[in-house]
A and B are shown apart, each in its own frame.
Chain A
Amino acid sequence: AQTVTQSQPEMSVQEAETVTLSCTYDTSESDYYLFWYKQPPSRQMILVIRQEAYKQQNATENRFSVNFQKAAKSFSLKISDSQLGDAAMYFCAYMEYGNKLVFGAGTILRVKS
């Protein structure tokens, strides 16, 4: 079974600074999706960014970008110019094409003003 590991239970960042959240995954497949979801205290699951494994270019969405290392099975999220509204639980997730989404245990991000 595929597994997703987030080794940082909690991270802190100063407002306006940059932070990187780590994620590794285990799979024998070559085609799949990777995601970062944000869960604020409202508990709503919000898609932050998505990466398709066949694309070599790292995905970016405004202040959010990923470092996708396919051979190393690593998928880290970089948040630039951190804002108070970025404080949340962040989940890394893996999906094979046409199948179910598997989540990591999550990383709590705290943003200090």
Chain B
Amino acid sequence: NAGVTQTPKFRILKIGQSMTLQCTQDMNHNYMYWYRQDPGMGLKLIYYSVGAGITDKGEVPNGYNVSRSTTEDFPLRLELAAPSQTSVYFCASRTQNTGELFFGEGSRLTVL
């Protein structure tokens, strides 16, 4: 079982560039999440989605955009990358019932 798959695993961006972090899950989960983790810190919620076509902001949404056109995919878009967006990004999904999040392996992004 693939679970939650994130791509790319590593990326270096220049200031002002844009990119999309891809996230796909094959568990038919309705809920999907994007978190960022700065060095030595906990995870902060960027955006989340409770189903296809529905997204909402988390704690730190500025500088990011998301879309949820299908149940499986939840891409995270960075527009005009800034050094403050250097972080490890985690995508996660869950069913409505259990509460347990299934995480991807993370994507390390560096903005120089």
Contacts and interface: CB of A to CB of B under 8 A. Distances in A.
Nearest to A6: B42
Contact of A101 (B33, B96, B105): B33
Contact of A95 (B35, B50, B58, B99): B99
A111 B92 CA distance: 29
Interface residues of A, number: 20
Contacts of B33: 100-101
A33 interface: yes
B43 interface: yes
Among B99, B101, B106, the one with the most A-chain Cβ atoms within 10 Å of its Cβ is B99
Interface in A74-113: 91, 95, 97-98, 100-106
A43 B88 contact: yes
Interface stretch (A13-21, A44-52, A56-64, A65-73): A44-52
B101 A101 contact: yes
Interface residues of B, number: 23
A94 B40 CA distance: 19
Interface in B42-74: 42-45, 48, 50, 58-59
Interface of B: 33, 35, 40-45, 48, 50, 58-59, 88, 90, 92, 96, 98-101, 103, 105-106
Nearest first, the 5 closest Cβ-Cβ pairs linking A and B are A45-B103, A33-B99, A103-B42, A103-B43, A105-B42
25 contacts: A1-B59, A35-B99, A43-B88, A43-B105, A43-B106, A44-B103, A44-B105, A44-B106, A45-B90, A47-B100, A47-B101, A91-B42, A95-B99, A98-B50, A100-B45, A100-B48, A100-B58, A101-B92, A101-B101, A103-B43, A103-B44, A105-B41, A105-B42, A106-B41, A106-B42
Interface of A: 1, 33, 35, 43-45, 47, 50, 52, 91, 95, 97-98, 100-106
